[in-house]
Amino acid sequence: MSSGVVRRAFIAASLSLAACAPKARSQAPIAIPPLKSFAPFPVGTCIQAAQLDDPAFAALVAAQVSQLTPEWELKMEYVLQKDGGYRFDAPDRIAAFCADHGLRFFGHTLVWYYEKPEFFQQRLGEAYRSAFRDAYAAYITAVVGRYKGRICAWDVVNEQITDDGADWRDSLWSQGLGRLEHMRFAYELAHAADPGAVLFLNDYNLESNPKKRGTFMGLAEALLKAGAPLMGLGTQTHVNADLAPGAITAAVKDLASLGLKVRISEMDVSLARVPGLANLRADLQRRQAALFAEAAEALAGLPAHQRFDFTFWGLEDSQSWLRRENAADSPLLFDDAGRPKPAAAAWERALRP
Ligand code: XIL
């Protein structure tokens, strides 16, 4: 082989190495300690009972988080049957997994405007006023009572503020029991069924919509004034990657201002929901990482007794509810193979002492 051929081969090899280098760097595995091992607050994810059948995923969950929330299997649409009976098979499985692995179990959710079961619709109207109230009380008492001492806290009322941020929502529950009274009563019932459970009010878009946040805070104050045992406020933090920096910090500070416990309750950062094609995916990924980091810092910045938990709405992208809306979205900390993404590294860096 002539020296020219060797040289050409050498140059070609270096060029191809150089071409690969940036790619190889960005694909280098990211190693971070388990999330719960360094966070100054409990770390959670949502879960569906069937996901626990996958041993690799169950191991990831047990290693990374200290708290689980059923993604939908403690909602009325799952628990309440057509004849008024209840089913608890799936939440019981999640409860058992929590007990086996020393995880906290979070209850989501008792009163949600979105639920409109026939069983309650049939009991609406003056003639049925007491039947509606009795069925409502029976439901909350049964569900909270079943997990007494096992569920550490409940989203008692979920998503009560209208999307324009101006008002409280009307719902089957407000029609049956009154605008404030159905909520006050729910807190009272949940507290009676499990005096040890921490009772939350939870909502979304509190970062992007300060008007909605103001109405949410007003509702919390109205509940407290009415004597409801409301103990904490949750901000779901389903945000898009183009959310303005500082918006999450402002929301968390505002929520903490009443002195109640605070949680980031369902965080994910959508890339796909950002409008416009001009956004490069790499830019969106950087902004995603920055938003996760900001949220971690914001919660860590609260007094220790106010930090209840930081829950992600899923660990792996493949399991996100946002994937059903757009198959290209990747809103979570771990990729489809359960490997930590740059967003996970940013979340970890934000919490480093
Ligand atoms: C979503 C679940 O992720 C989906 O699986 C389900 O089909 C619909 O609800 N806010 C909430 C959660 O409080 O209950 C929602 O979860 C996401 C938005």
Q: Is 176 part of a structural domain of the chain?
A: yes
Distance CA 274, CA 270 (A): 7
Per-residue model confidence (pLDDT) at position 244: 97
134-164 pLDDT, tens digit each:
999 999 999 999 999 999 999 999 999 999 9
Residue 293 has pLDDT above 80, yes or no: yes
Ligand 1: does its nearest atom lie under 6 Å from the Cβ of 158? yes
231-251 pLDDT, tens digit each:
999 999 999 999 999 999 999
Q: Is 301 part of a structural domain of the chain?
A: yes
Q: DSSP secondary structure string, 232-296? A: EEEE--EEETTPPTTHHHHHHHHHHTTSSEEEEEEEEEESTTS--S-S-HHHHHHHHHHHHHHHH
Residue 182 has pLDDT above 90, yes or no: yes
Q: What is the whole-number distance in angstroms between the Cα of residue 62 and the centre of ligand 1?
A: 22
Per-residue model confidence (pLDDT) at position 13: 34
For range 220-230, the mean pLDDT: 98
Ligand 1: does its nearest atom lie under 6 Å from the Cβ of 266? yes
User: How is residue 121 annotated by DSSP?
Assistant: H
- Residue 32 and residue 342 in contact, taking contact as beta carbons nearer than 8 Å: no
Closest CA to ligand 1's atom 16: 71
Pocket test for ligand 1, best of 313, 323, 325, 332 (most atoms within 8 A of CB): 313
- Residue 224 and residue 257 in contact, taking contact as beta carbons nearer than 8 Å: no
Q: Is 332 part of a structural domain of the chain?
A: yes
Residue 109 has pLDDT above 70, yes or no: yes
Q: Is 28 part of a structural domain of the chain?
A: no
Per-residue model confidence (pLDDT) at position 125: 85
3-state secondary structure of 120: helix
Q: Is 96 part of a structural domain of the chain?
A: no
Closest CA to ligand 1's atom 5: 321
Ligand 1: does its nearest atom lie under 6 Å from the Cβ of 236? yes
For the CA atoms of 280, 281, 286, 288, what is the dihedral angle to 10 degrees?
Answer: 120
- With b for 16 or more beta-carbon neighbours within 10 A and e for fewer, the 322-350 pattern comes to bbeeeeebbbbbbbeebebbbbbbbbbeb
Question: How far from 226 is each of 117, 180, 203, 221, 223, CA to CA, in Å?
Answer: 27, 9, 20, 9, 5
CATH at 259? 3.20.20.80
Number of structural domains (the chain) is 1
Token representation of residue 6: 């060797």
Per-residue model confidence (pLDDT) at position 301: 98
Pocket test for ligand 1, best of 202, 321, 325 (most atoms within 8 A of CB): 321
Q: What is the whole-number distance in angstroms between the Cα of residue 325 and the centre of ligand 1?
A: 12
Q: For residue 219, what are the domain limits?
A: 116-337
At 26, the amino acid letter reads: S
Per-residue model confidence (pLDDT) at position 128: 82
Q: Is 84 part of a structural domain of the chain?
A: no
Cβ burial, residue 278 (10 Å; 0-12/13-18/19+): exposed
- Average pLDDT over the chain reads 92
Ligand 1: does its nearest atom lie under 6 Å from the Cβ of 72? yes
Q: Is 30 part of a structural domain of the chain?
A: no
Q: Of the ranges 114-128, 180-194, 276-290, which one carries the lowest mean pLDDT score?
A: 276-290
Cβ burial, residue 45 (10 Å; 0-12/13-18/19+): buried
Per-residue model confidence (pLDDT) at position 276: 77
Q: Is 10 part of a structural domain of the chain?
A: no
Pocket test for ligand 1, best of 45, 69, 72, 317 (most atoms within 8 A of CB): 72
2-35 pLDDT, tens digit each:
333 333 333 333 333 333 334 444 567 899 999 9
What pTM was estimated for this model as a whole?
A: 0.92
Q: DSSP secondary structure string, 212-250? A: HHHHHHHHHHHHHHTT----EEEE--EEETTPPTTHHHH
- Residue 291 and residue 86 in contact, taking contact as beta carbons nearer than 8 Å: no
Residue 1 has pLDDT above 60, yes or no: no
For the CA atoms of 48, 52, 54, 59, what is the dihedral angle to 10 degrees?
Answer: 120
